[in-house]
Each structure stands twice: as structure tokens, then as C-alpha cells.
């Protein structure tokens, strides 16, 4: 879902500079053009792929599903492989943007988690167009000490009440609260909090979500899908609606900085979104053979396990799980328990009419009018 996830650290930025940008890169020899979420791959994955396959990856990034869909639906993007969230797949498939994958060219397809493939089939019937890459959840990233200082030891950090109950949010506004700048992710959470279907197509439900968010708007410092990570790590804000891996990245960066900031991530007890990002091949891919080689490479257990270790997002590769480091593999934030998974819900594509309603609501919420 959704997904950008993490901000680009210096080391990774230096590595990715070798591959950017797709639009202007001139490459000698075989190449593959890849479009992925911002900072959503291992620091050496691209270089390792080139060394292993003799194919140069030309790499671009995006930071919202809306940007991705807008680029792909206009056609002629020039990309071969794209990382698309599960809820975007029906729109892309219906528009004829994606090419069916050839299992004969994907020998590592056998490693995919059958449970995730079954979930993905609701967005990609028959698993024809997409294979799982990484997945995660949306919850609350927060500064342990600042939240306790404002709300006390009994702060409801295990509940959406922390941010969606006005009394709590008003107090937390003293230290700063951020929301994702994504109507496709925030409005389902607001609907779910109100006891309404998170994937509702009922305009009246969105009126209720709008009223709730407009009431909360004065206490929200900003809407952004990347800035909140560094701000959490540096203590500039004390809470944010966050992706699981993003909160863990903030936690790690605060610890590395030794700045005394303690960050935690909570999956609210009421339930929260779970998303699955996938690897797809575009129908107009200029290099389809190299594209499928890239997809297959990322399905190697020994390739994707270090990506999980680096990003703190679980992967869709069952054979890779034993290769993931214990710190990530045993962390319930990265790999939630079955009990937790039962409380999570997936996001679904909505009719265009509902999407327009959602866009209008979000514009009003952000402007506060």
C-alpha cells in the first residue's frame, strides 16, 4: 500500500545514484527499467543483480500510489518492472497496463508464500500478473517518553483513540502529530475507527469521516508521507500514522544517533490496514525478458532476505524466512502473530465515483475547510 516507505539515507542514496534517472539514462548492453517505492530495496541489490545477470538496472522511485497509477495509466512510461500495491492491481489489470507473467521464466516462483498468494488472488485472480515482494501494516509510530509526558503512563498507545480522540490529539499537538498524505490509506482508517466499512462506497460514510477529520485537523501539524520518519527519529514530532517499517527505521536511526529518542510502533487493537506490494511486468515493457529476469532475481530467498533485514518489512517468500535475521524474524512488528493478523483488513480499489468523493474529502481535510 501504498506505499513509499522510508527516507533515503546517505549510503543508499550514493548507491542509487548509479541507476538514476530512467528517463535520461544511456546504457550500454542489456538493461531493465524499474519503478519502485522510495527507498524500498537493499543497498546492494541493484549492483548485485547487475553483477549476477549482466543486466543494468535503470531505477526510478515514487512516493505515492496515486503518482504510480497516474504515470502508468497514461501509457508509454518506459518502465519494465513496477512495484505496485495490491489494491492498485485491479485498476491496472482492467486498464490493460500489465502483462501476464510467464511461470516458465520464473523458476523461483515456487518459493512464494501460498497464504499470501491466496490473499493476493482477491486483487489478481489466478495470480496471473503479480508476485509478492514485501508487505506490512499501517499503525502508529510514537515517541515513548513524549507521549507519556503528555498523556501519562496510561496513554492509549494500543488504540486509534491515541490520535482520533480529540482530547488526546489536542494534548499531543504540543509535541506534534503527523498523518500520511494519502487519502487511500487515511480515510479507510477513519472509517474503520467510526465502525464503518473501511472500503465503503457509501457517500454518507465519507461525510462522517470528513466530520471526524475536520474536527481533528486543528491539532495535526502536517500531512506527509516521508518527512515524519526523520521527524520522529529526531524528536521533532511525537506521533504519526506510520507504516510498520518506517517506524522501525525511525527507531533505528534514533538509536544510531544516540539522541535519547525512544520510538515504538503500535498496531491498534481495533484493527488496522495490512498491505502487500507486488512485482509486475508492464504490457508495453521495452525489455520484457530482462524484466522477468529481475522479478525472478528478487524471488531468490538469499536475495530478498537481506532486503527484509534492511527495511524491516516482511517479504512474500516462504523459503526466505529462515534466512532473515533473528532481529526482524522474531519481531512481532515485522512479522505479526496470527492473532494480530486476524484483526487486520486489506484495502480495496473503489469505483471512480467513490474515488472522486474521497479526493474531495481529503482536500477539505488538508485545507481545514
| Cα distance from N-terminal residue to C-terminal residue, the chain | 27
The rounded mean pLDDT for the chain is 91
According to DSSP H, which parts of 33-173 are helical?
45-53, 65-73, 89-94, 114-120, 144-151, 161-164, 166-172
Beta-bridge mates of residue 357: none
Please state the domain count of the chain. Answer: 2
Indicate if 22 and 69 belong to the same structural domain: yes
Number of helices (H), then strands (E), belonging to the chain: the values are 17, 10
Same domain, 180 and 236: yes
Same domain, 234 and 115: no
Domain that holds residue 35: 10-136+275-335
pLDDT of residue 228: 96
Continuous H helices in 196-331: 203-216, 227-234, 244-257, 288-298, 301-311, 326-329
Tell me, yes or no, whether 219 and 269 share the same domain: yes
Q: What is the dihedral of CA 195, 199, 204, 205, to 10 degrees?
A: 20
Q: What is the pLDDT of residues 156-208, one digit of tens each?
A: 999 999 999 999 999 999 999 999 999 989 999 999 999 999 999 999 999 99
Backbone angles phi, psi at 325, to 5 degrees: -60, 150
Task: Tell me whether residue 341 is in a domain.
Answer: no
Distance CA 366, CA 369 (A): 8
**Contact residues for 211 (Cβ-Cβ < 8 A; gap 6+):** none
Phi and psi at 79, nearest 5°, equal: -90, 155
Same domain, 219 and 356: yes
5 lies in some domain: no
Are 302 and 235 contained in the same domain?
no
Burial 229-258 (b: 16+ CB within 10 A, else e): bbbbbebbbbbbbbbbbbbbbbbebbeeee
Statement: residue 19 has pLDDT above 70: no
Whether 303 is covered by a domain: the verdict is yes
**Given pLDDT bands bounded at 50, 70 and 90, which one contains residue 26?**
low
Same domain assignment for residues 161 and 228: yes
At residue 52, the pLDDT reads 98
Considering the domain architecture, whether residues 363 and 219 belong to the same structural domain is answered as yes
Domain containing 144 — which CATH number? Answer: 3.40.190.10
Q: Does 20 share its domain with 72?
A: yes
190's grid cell = 477513519
Q: Report pLDDT digits (tens) over 70-98.
A: 899 998 999 999 999 998 899 999 999 99
Query: How many whole angstroms separate alpha carbon 140 and alpha carbon 157?
Result: 8
Give CA 208 to chain center in angstroms: 26
pLDDT tens-place string over residues 201-250: 999 999 999 999 999 999 999 999 889 999 999 999 999 999 999 999 99
CA distance 64 to 70: 10
Amino acid at each position: 500500500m501504498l506505499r513509499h516507505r522510508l527516507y533515503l539515507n546517505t549510503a543508499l542514496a550514493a548507491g542509487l545514484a548509479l541507476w538514476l534517472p530512467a528517463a535520461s539514462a544511456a546504457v550500454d548492453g542489456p538493461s531493465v527499467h524499474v519503478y519502485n517505492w522510495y527507498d524500498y530495496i537493499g543497498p546492494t541489490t541493484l549492483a548485485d543483480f547487475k553483477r549476477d545477470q549482466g543486466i543494468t538496472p535503470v531505477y526510478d522511485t515514487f512516493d505515492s500510489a496515486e503518482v504510480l497509477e497516474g504515470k502508468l495509466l497514461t501509457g508509454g512510461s518506459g518502465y519494465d518492472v513496477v512495484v505496485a500495491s495490491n489494491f492498485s492491481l485491479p485498476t491496472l489489470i482492467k486498464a490493460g497496463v500489465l502483462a501476464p507473467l510467464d511461470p516458465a521464466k520464473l523458476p523461483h516462483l515456487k518459493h512464494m508464500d501460498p497464504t499470501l498468494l491466496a490473499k493476493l488472488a482477491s486483487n489478481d485472480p489466478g495470480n496471473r500478473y503479480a508476485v509478492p515482494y514485501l508487505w506490512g501494516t499501517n499503525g502508529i509510530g510514537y515517541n515513548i517518553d513524549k507521549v507519556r509526558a503528555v498523556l501519562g503512563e496510561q496513554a492509549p498507545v494500543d488504540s486509534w483513540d491515541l490520535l482520533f480522540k480529540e482530547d488526546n490529539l489536542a494534548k499531543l499537538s504540543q509535541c506534534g502529530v503527523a498523518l500520511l498524505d494519502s487519502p487511500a490509506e487515511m480515510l479507510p482508517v477513519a472509517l474503520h475507527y467510526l465502525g464503518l466499512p473501511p472500503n465503503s462506497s457509501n457517500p454518507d460514510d465519507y461525510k462522517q469521516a470528513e466530520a471526524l477529520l475536520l474536527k481533528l485537523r486543528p491539532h495535526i501539524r502536517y500531512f506527509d508521507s516521508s518527512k515524519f520518519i526523520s521527524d520522529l527519529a529526531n524528536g521533532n514530532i511525537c506521533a504519526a500514522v506510520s507504516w510498520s517499517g518506517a517506524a522501525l527505521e525511525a527507531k533505528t536511526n534514533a538509536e544510531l544517533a544516540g539522541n535519547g529518542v525512544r520510538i515504538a510502533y503500535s498496531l491498534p487493537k481495533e484493527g488496522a490496514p495490512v498491505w502487500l506490494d507486488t512485482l509486475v511486468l508492464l504490457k508495453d515493457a521495452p525489455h520484457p525478458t530482462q524484466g522477468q529476469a529481475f522479478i525472478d532475481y528478487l524471488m531468490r530467498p538469499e536475495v530478498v532476505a537481506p532486503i527484509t533485514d534492511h527495511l524491516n518489512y516482511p517479504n512474500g517468500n516462504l523459503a526466505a524466512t529462515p534466512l532473515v535475521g533473528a532481529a526482524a524474524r522474531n519481531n512481532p512488528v515485522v512479522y505479526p502473530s496470527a492473532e494480530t493478523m486476524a484483526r487486520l483488513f486489506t484495502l480495496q480499489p473503489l469505483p471512480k465515483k467513490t474515488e472522486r468523493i474521497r479526493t474531495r474529502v481529503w482536500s477539505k481535510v488538508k485545507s481545514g475547510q
